[in-house]
Structure formats: C-alpha cells, structure tokens
Amino acid sequence: MPKGHLLYAQSGGVTAVINATASAVLATARAHKVPALWAKNGILGALREELYDTRKLKAAEIKALAHTPGGAFGSCRFKLKSIEQDRAQYERLIDVFRAHDIRWFLYNGGNDSADTALKLSKVASELGYPLTCIGVPKTVDNDLVVTDCCPGFGSAAKYTAVSVAEAALDVAAMADTSTKVFVYEVMGRHAGWLAAAAGLAGRGEDQAPHLILFPENAFDEAAFLAKVQAVVKKVGYCVVVVSEGIRHADGRFVAEAGGKDAFGHSQLGGVGPMLAALCKDKLGVKVHWTVPDYLQRSARHLASKTDLQQALAVGKAAVELALAGKNGVMPTIQRTSDKPYRWKIVPHPLSEIANHEKTMPKAFIRKDGFGITEACRTYLEPLIRGEAPPPYGKDGLPAFVRPTLPLLPKTLLAWSK
C-alpha cells in the first residue's frame, strides 16, 4: 500500500444517508490502515486548507454517523471552473494535496460533484501529481445517469410517499366542510423522480395523489384546472403533488424566482403555493399547500433500509476502488433483478456520468400525464422497502452524533478567490 492520506468531502444538498456513506468510507479506510482526512464544507475546505484528521474520531462516533442525517463536517455548492478559466484554483488544490500528502480524493455528491472529481483527476495528471479521484454518488433527485438509483433518493422517496399518504387521510377526513385541494411540492428541478415516488401512496385515479406534475411534461394550466375540478367533483377532494421544476411549454420555470445558485442553476420559488392560489382563484375552493423542503432530505427517522444499505456499499466500494488505483470512476448501483430485488456495485467512468442527467422515461408516466405507470411502481417500490430507524435516547429523540474535531494546522498561505 503506497503511503499517503485519503481525503473525503461532501458536496451539494445533504441527505438522510450521506453520513452513512461517510461512515463506510472512514471504517473501510481504517480497515486498510489508511489515514483519512475530511474537508470542511466540501471542496471549499480543500481550497481553504481546512481539513480534519478523522483518526481522532472514536469508533463509536464513526458507527453513529450511519444513523445521523445532514453533513457531519459541512457541504457546499461550489462548482470548479474549467482549468482554462481558472488554472490557479487547481494549482491551489494540488498544493494543498501535496502539503498534506493526499493521494486519494473521494467527492460525495451529485452531477456537479462528479464533474469536480473528473476535472481534478485530469488536472492532477496534467500537473504531474499522483492523485486518484473517485466520485461517490448521492442525490435525492435520483438524476445521475448509469446508476440504477442514487443513495439518498430511496429515503426521500419513502418520506414523500408516507407523507402524502398521511396527509391525504387528513384531507379526506375534513373535505366535506374544509379543504378541497391540497398541494404538496417536492424537490426536482429537471427530473420528476421524487414526485413520482408520491404515486406509491395510492393506486388508481381515485386514490391520492390524484395529480402528479412532472418537470418532464409542459404545464398546461387549463388541463390542470379541469382535472382538479373533475377529481373534486368525483372524489370530494384532490391531492396534487408537484415537482418544483415544472415548466411552461416555452421552457420557463413556472416558479422561477430570479437569480442563480452557486452551481449556476435558476433559483426556484414556491410552485406549490402558486398552484394552490390558482385553484382558489379559478375554482373557488378552499386550499392548503405544503413545501417539505429540507424535511424530505433529512428525515433519517423514516429512512429506507435499502437506501441505507446502498449508501454504505458505495462508501466502502469508493475506498476500495481508490486504493486499487481506479482513477476517475464512480461506484454505481446496478439492478440485477426486480423480483426479488437484487443489486450490485459496479465502477463506471466519471466521463460518462458528469454533466449528464437522468429524467423520467415516458414509460414511467401515465398517458394522461398525471400519474405513474406500473413500470414506474416496479422500479420505485424496492427502493423504499425496509425500515432503518436510528436509536432513540431517554429523551425520546434520535441519538444523533455531532462529532467535533480541531482543524489541522495550515501550512500554506490563505486562499483567495
């Protein structure tokens, strides 16, 4: 085994099980007697030389990370420019890696994180520094290509399906004298996977959710209102699930708020309340809406056992691939059987994953555009199966771990953008 340190970092929106992946990374590195560092707030920690030495974490803390949501030492939304646009930031990263003898870099995130790992693997080679880069999959959006599903999605999908089922029972109980239309907004900028997961809450057009609005379909206001009105008349109430990224026919987001985030994505703002207001104004019915926002990606108490197992598996595989010198790859999940559900981990080149996006196939969306098909249900159901609750303390709350470590001493001058 060559000498050196392994550096792990998290990127993008955190999930209910991203720390489980971290737990597997640290445990596997220890098993191979490789010292592991953790960058504070993702790639920014590497640029700022803000690194933690995880050898000071107790084994019990590493184990407890597996049932703790969030990002234990921070994440970020920061996209590296191309080397032609900003060569200095890459040279800075290599300087930090050289200063701390970092030979393996694992970046845990989604599309943009895969892009960062790919760029860094190429630049390190160009600059003559021996570095193995591995992209580690994570995203509740489930939009990474190649991999059958993304760690983080299964738990968010389970939370969505359960929440919609429970809320629908509430709405049904009160519909005679109260709310007629309930709108539930989920994450999903370009891909409707989370919205689709809500479809697991019921079967048939008369069971909630009665309408699902996908980013893959252009929003038609007239068709939407007509469908809502028909459902209210027939069922007595209507539960609508909408993806935040639905668009008009001309490509504009229905709820674009203006501005861009750190990855250059359009800021979206509240399509759920917009649709609720539309139903109230046009149909004259009482409405309620909810935006679970961070709740859907942080609900560790309702995590899918399948999702947890896959999050642990990609973390373990990432370390093993790195130590084997498999540069510029990602451990992906390959489904080998639907019934029974079986899967395995397969490495795949980052060049075929970065900057690509997996959207809902047409075969997964009902012909009328407002629901999921049986093919979609077959795909989704195994991903939310099984329960993996965290341990609870005497106070009745989950026993999450909040590890603290001092930063390693800096050896370089401060980084400035």
Active site members: 141
Q: What's the chain's length in residues?
A: 417
DSSP 256-276: EEEEE-TTSPEEE--HHHHHH
Q: CB under 8 Å to 156, separation ≥6 — which residues?
A: 15, 16, 140, 187, 194, 197, 296, 297, 299
Enter the tokens of residue 97.
């890696």
C-alpha–C-alpha distance, residues 136 and 147, integer Å: 11
Contact at 8 Å (CB) between 268 and 253? yes
Token pair listed for 377:
């249900």
Q: 287: which strand partners?
A: 181
CB 262 within 8 A of CB 252: no
Q: Give Cα separations from 231 to 37, 79, 209, 221, 237 (angstroms).
A: 55, 44, 11, 15, 7
Tokens matching residue 95:
């300087």
DSSP 285: -
DSSP secondary structure letters along 156-186: HHHHHHHHHHHHHHHHHHHTTTS-SEEEEEE
161: Cα separation from own chain's centroid: 16
Q: Tell me how far apart the alpha carbons of residues 84 and 322 are, in angstroms, rounded to a whole number.
A: 27
Phi, psi of 161 (to 5 degrees): -65, -45
Name the β-bridge partners of 241.
Answer: 184, 212
326 phi/psi in degrees, rounded to 5: -80, 80
CA nearest 224: which of 269, 254, 204? 254
- CA 320 to chain CA mean position, Å: 23
Task: Give the residue among 126, 136, 120, 128 at the shortest CA–CA distance from 19.
Answer: 136
